[in-house]
Chains A and B, each alone.
Chain A
């Protein structure tokens, strides 16, 4: 049952074939047994999870109608604020902080009956592509423990892949759901900007951040997305649009679907041959099912990386100004106020976070704003225009999620090398579009490869339908990570 995914678990509990407490205990047991090796969890909320599961079982016993995710054990990336449960953003500066409120997505998941197993690791403040920037621990890739799980939502992807939760939530600012999903062989969805509330999501870059599901299959991802999507009066950027029944969209055909293939993503020397081959198989499979493959151009793609690495750090430098050691979080001993700020922040933030705060502060300085931040936002508009034009001709865009499969720890020694790991995923955030990564095969070394789909704004149903077709045709099927013995 561990491997059967969220939808099946929910079905079995609703049908009385399994009790929520049994399911929860099974996952808690696996966490206790295996997470020492995997390193996904920062905090396990065993007692609270058991209490939630028992409440679901009581509802079932009383024949009360069960919500859609009743009894489904879920892990939350540690940038999602949880009332009464430590939330650190994998940073020392938030060590020991127990929030007095729940993120909207957490409230929604609980209302949908999901069981919160705990908080999972990530890069500090979601800044990174390997989860190596966590201040607390290393999370390993369950397909090969010597390799990274991707990032920043590496705990979320590793936990799903290793069967230490039925599904998880991550956040995606420049690829932080899709990239780790690809590297761990799971499905990850970054919704349209504004589709899911950001209230209670520790902010990295506010105009780019979105919450989304990581799951064992497309159906599970659709189910979780449906539970967390929708207008939130507490988030002025959340969209006032009805939430479709995403699961229903999966039944559709891909025949006639126009799939765009941007040359800028495929014609790259850095693209690993195994990844290229997997994408070609994916394209062929879609063509066989009646989809139409169309070459498209996204000519400003090469500007996505510089634009992103100015916009995101600029916003981050602002969003992280609140960590000052006054109202919560760590404070360093200091004689003066200025020293208190500088020492607390100097000791509390890790190297990558500092680098981005510095970069962002630099870009926003008086006299430099036009040259950097404003220019990057203009380039962003050009990138968005590319997509708008392309979507006149195609319904969805197919690209590799990452240039390579999972890389070994320490492989990306310079910041720029690490930034390049997100080269295919950044544009989607800059343009506010929905994106997904779905497994589409393994490398010769047996590492998962992800196919990325990018859709029109709010067109998640089409995105999910295409993802389901890919999953059916070239997905991993019953292949499971073999890095963990059991």
Chain B
């Protein structure tokens, strides 16, 4: 028996911090990296008498995600209290949503290889983040700066079939929430966090196997590694005659293994009930209308459009990896109707411009070269005004100064010489000046052709149209 005899079934529960300025239920700020306990208020601290009031922007962001994932949006959803005692949970309960979540039955489009795969989402619900506990010997320290930051929990259906698919799900969700500016989604800062439910079964079986829950997965690579490790562990366990126990396991990235949490800590009964401090959350037509109107073309939709327009899957995936990059590309294509496919533009964009930006540590948003200028440059090369080689010089100048490529070309007299009369005169001069080489070439030394091209380029400071130059040389040299 081997891994091929088993079918892994993976479901993900992903927490995404929403990019609001203030917290979910109170007005303290939501920054990362401030001194401990400096971003709290009476509500966040769970002081006696305090009450939650929900942040409208958190709702708007969650609705954007709901609409972008084709979810059903509940006209009336409800906040519930989820009870558990933990030092970083100030009220002894977390405000979450339980049986009436904001969004249900959506889907996330995941780019796997060159195609888009649709993964079902069971629900997306709103909740508040907890603070942080740090373990220091016999005690733990508690910092509540993160407590109360708004989150959405995105729950996938258990239908991811491999560690790779699980990792791609995370990448696609990451791309989507950044695309929509719903979240910074920085995994290192915990803005995007993932728990994975993993089970295995025989191919063709309907029933799901006993699942384990993996917690503490905080990078795309760990999603893959933790899930893969868990699949292998379960297969080994079952094939050795054991059985999988339903439990929560913590992934330890340093060790590359997971360990079960103590069973006593898992025996929780959250005692959910509707939060009496928070009346039903109503999403009306006006709010939904605004969300729908503001929704941009989604990254997977754009990915597929790029494929249809003739871009390679790799280039298309790179472009939709960042909305600003894809938008830059679209803007460049728009002003350059000659290159409908954008294939030339994408080359200039991904090699020249991204190369230069990377070298400078800049983002696409900080590009000194406007999309229209990149487009203009590509056109100058394509219509033969300048050669590709000169194009790179013009690019360097435009990148440095922010100037328009055409103006740079004209100011520096960099236009390609395509006039046959003008080029013919240069060719004649070169032939007249190098009688020995002419003789040798005509005698059969083909390799000397390049010498003549080089001499013409030298005379014209590289501006000679190479095709016409070559044509003229062939004619005048007689071969």
Nearest-neighbour CB distance to chain A for B86, whole angstroms, equals 9
**Of A241-249, A322-330, A415-423, the one with at least 4 CB within 8 A of chain B:** A322-330
Complex CA distance for A365 and B267, rounded to whole angstroms: 13
Nearest-neighbour CB distance to chain A for B98, whole angstroms, equals 10
> In the complex the two chains form, is B93's CB within 8 Å of A318's CB?
yes
Contact with B along A363-401 (1 / 0, CB 8 A): 011100100010000000000000000000000000000
> In the complex the two chains form, is B271's CB within 8 Å of A322's CB?
no
With A236-B52, A361-B271 already in contact, the answer to whether A327 and B276 are too (CB < 8 A) is no
B residues in contact with A234, CB < 8 Å: 51, 53
**Of A32-40, A93-101, A161-169, A473-481, the one with at least 4 CB within 8 A of chain B:** A93-101
> In the complex the two chains form, is B87's CB within 8 Å of A337's CB?
yes
> In the complex the two chains form, is B277's CB within 8 Å of A236's CB?
yes
Q: Does B336 contact A (CB under 8 A)?
A: no
Contact with A along B142-165 (1 / 0, CB 8 A): 101000000000000000000000
Q: Does A201 contact B (CB under 8 A)?
A: yes
Which residues between 248 and 305 of chain B lie within 8 Å of chain A, taking CB atoms?
269-273, 276-279
B residues in contact with A81, CB < 8 Å: 47-49
A-B pairs with beta carbons under 8 A, tally: 99
Q: Does A198 contact B (CB under 8 A)?
A: yes
B residues in contact with A236, CB < 8 Å: 51-54, 277-279
Complex CA distance for A203 and B294, rounded to whole angstroms: 40
B residues in contact with A337, CB < 8 Å: 87, 140
> In the complex the two chains form, is A201's CB within 8 Å of B49's CB?
yes
With A101-B42, A327-B90 already in contact, the answer to whether A199 and B51 are too (CB < 8 A) is yes
> In the complex the two chains form, is B81's CB within 8 Å of A318's CB?
yes
Complex CA distance for A198 and B272, rounded to whole angstroms: 22
B residues in contact with A315, CB < 8 Å: 276
Complex CA distance for A235 and B52, rounded to whole angstroms: 7
> In the complex the two chains form, is B83's CB within 8 Å of A365's CB?
no
Q: Does B92 contact A (CB under 8 A)?
A: yes
Total interface residues in chain A, CB < 8 Å? 44
A residues in contact with B91, CB < 8 Å: 321-322
A residues in contact with B87, CB < 8 Å: 324, 326, 337
> In the complex the two chains form, is A321's CB within 8 Å of B83's CB?
yes
A residues in contact with B45, CB < 8 Å: 327-328
Find B85's partner among A103, A200, A206, A324 (CB 8 Å cutoff): A324
> In the complex the two chains form, is A203's CB within 8 Å of B90's CB?
no
> In the complex the two chains form, is A314's CB within 8 Å of B49's CB?
no
Interface centre among B83, B91, B269, B271 (most CB of A within 10 A): B271
> In the complex the two chains form, is A207's CB within 8 Å of B276's CB?
yes
Contact with A along B240-252 (1 / 0, CB 8 A): 0000000000000
> In the complex the two chains form, is B277's CB within 8 Å of A206's CB?
yes
Contact with B along A9-53 (1 / 0, CB 8 A): 000000000000000000000000000000000000000000000
Chain B, residue nearest A325 (CB) = B87
> In the complex the two chains form, is A94's CB within 8 Å of B48's CB?
yes
Nearest-neighbour CB distance to chain B for A263, whole angstroms, equals 31
Nearest-neighbour CB distance to chain A for B135, whole angstroms, equals 11
B residues in contact with A199, CB < 8 Å: 49-51
Contact with B along A118-154 (1 / 0, CB 8 A): 0000000000000000000000000000000000000
Chain B, residue nearest A364 (CB) = B271
Nearest-neighbour CB distance to chain A for B195, whole angstroms, equals 20
Q: Does A233 contact B (CB under 8 A)?
A: yes
With A314-B273, A366-B269 already in contact, the answer to whether A322 and B279 are too (CB < 8 A) is no
A residues in contact with B142, CB < 8 Å: 326
> In the complex the two chains form, is A318's CB within 8 Å of B83's CB?
yes
> In the complex the two chains form, is A206's CB within 8 Å of B47's CB?
no
A residues in contact with B273, CB < 8 Å: 314, 318, 364, 369, 373
> In the complex the two chains form, is B277's CB within 8 Å of A100's CB?
no
Nearest-neighbour CB distance to chain B for A479, whole angstroms, equals 37
Nearest-neighbour CB distance to chain B for A71, whole angstroms, equals 27
Interface centre among A94, A234, A320, A373 (most CB of B within 10 A): A234
Q: Does B466 contact A (CB under 8 A)?
A: no
B residues in contact with A318, CB < 8 Å: 81, 83, 92-93, 271, 273
> In the complex the two chains form, is B51's CB within 8 Å of A87's CB?
no
> In the complex the two chains form, is B279's CB within 8 Å of A237's CB?
yes
Total interface residues in chain B, CB < 8 Å? 31
B residues in contact with A203, CB < 8 Å: 48-49
> In the complex the two chains form, is A200's CB within 8 Å of B49's CB?
yes
Q: Does A202 contact B (CB under 8 A)?
A: yes
A residues in contact with B279, CB < 8 Å: 236-237
Contact with A along B84-122 (1 / 0, CB 8 A): 010100111100000000000000000000000000000
B residues in contact with A366, CB < 8 Å: 269-271
A residues in contact with B52, CB < 8 Å: 236
Nearest-neighbour CB distance to chain A for B390, whole angstroms, equals 64
Q: Does B46 contact A (CB under 8 A)?
A: yes
Chain A, residue nearest B278 (CB) = A236
Q: Does A89 contact B (CB under 8 A)?
A: yes
Nearest-neighbour CB distance to chain A for B265, whole angstroms, equals 9
Find A237's partner among B42, B48, B54, B277 (CB 8 Å cutoff): B277
Complex CA distance for A201 and B83, rounded to whole angstroms: 21
Chain B, residue nearest A205 (CB) = B276
Which residues between 307 and 346 of chain A lie within 8 Å of chain B, taking CB atoms?
314-315, 317-318, 320-322, 324, 326-328, 337, 341
Nearest-neighbour CB distance to chain A for B81, whole angstroms, equals 6
> In the complex the two chains form, is A198's CB within 8 Å of B51's CB?
yes
A residues in contact with B50, CB < 8 Å: 199-200
Nearest-neighbour CB distance to chain A for B354, whole angstroms, equals 47
Nearest-neighbour CB distance to chain B for A201, whole angstroms, equals 5
> In the complex the two chains form, is A321's CB within 8 Å of B93's CB?
yes
Complex CA distance for A366 and B269, rounded to whole angstroms: 6
> In the complex the two chains form, is A99's CB within 8 Å of B93's CB?
no
Contact with A along B26-66 (1 / 0, CB 8 A): 00000000000000001001111111111000000000000
Complex CA distance for A441 and B374, rounded to whole angstroms: 92
> In the complex the two chains form, is A89's CB within 8 Å of B92's CB?
no
> In the complex the two chains form, is A324's CB within 8 Å of B269's CB?
no
Complex CA distance for A44 and B449, rounded to whole angstroms: 106
Complex CA distance for A299 and B340, rounded to whole angstroms: 77
Complex CA distance for A373 and B83, rounded to whole angstroms: 15
Nearest-neighbour CB distance to chain A for B380, whole angstroms, equals 59
Which residues between 295 and 318 of chain B lie within 8 Å of chain A, taking CB atoms?
none
Complex CA distance for A99 and B53, rounded to whole angstroms: 20
Which residues between 199 and 234 of chain A lie within 8 Å of chain B, taking CB atoms?
199-203, 205-207, 233-234
> In the complex the two chains form, is B49's CB within 8 Å of A321's CB?
no
Complex CA distance for A202 and B49, rounded to whole angstroms: 4
Nearest-neighbour CB distance to chain A for B275, whole angstroms, equals 8
Complex CA distance for A361 and B272, rounded to whole angstroms: 11
Which residues between 270 and 326 of chain A lie within 8 Å of chain B, taking CB atoms?
314-315, 317-318, 320-322, 324, 326
B residues in contact with A79, CB < 8 Å: 49
Find A99's partner among B47, B271, B276 (CB 8 Å cutoff): B47
Nearest-neighbour CB distance to chain B for A362, whole angstroms, equals 10
Contact with A along B426-455 (1 / 0, CB 8 A): 000000000000000000000000000000
Find A89's partner among B48, B93, B269, B272 (CB 8 Å cutoff): B48
A residues in contact with B81, CB < 8 Å: 318
Complex CA distance for A51 and B269, rounded to whole angstroms: 51
With A236-B279, A321-B85 already in contact, the answer to whether A100 and B42 are too (CB < 8 A) is yes
Complex CA distance for A321 and B48, rounded to whole angstroms: 11
> In the complex the two chains form, is B46's CB within 8 Å of A322's CB?
yes
Between A and B, 21 residue pairs with Cβ closer than 8 Å are A80-B49, A81-B47, A81-B48, A89-B48, A99-B48, A202-B49, A233-B53, A234-B53, A321-B83, A321-B92, A322-B46, A322-B48, A322-B92, A326-B90, A326-B142, A327-B144, A337-B87, A361-B271, A365-B269, A365-B271, A369-B271
9 new A-B contacts, CB < 8 A, other than A203-B48, A318-B271, are: A99-B47, A203-B49, A236-B278, A237-B276, A318-B81, A322-B48, A364-B271, A366-B270, A366-B271
Interface residues of B (CB under 8 A from A): 42, 45-54, 81, 83, 85, 87, 90-93, 140, 142, 144, 269-273, 276-279
| Interface pairs A-B: 5 shortest CB-CB | A321-B92, A207-B276, A364-B271, A206-B276, A200-B49
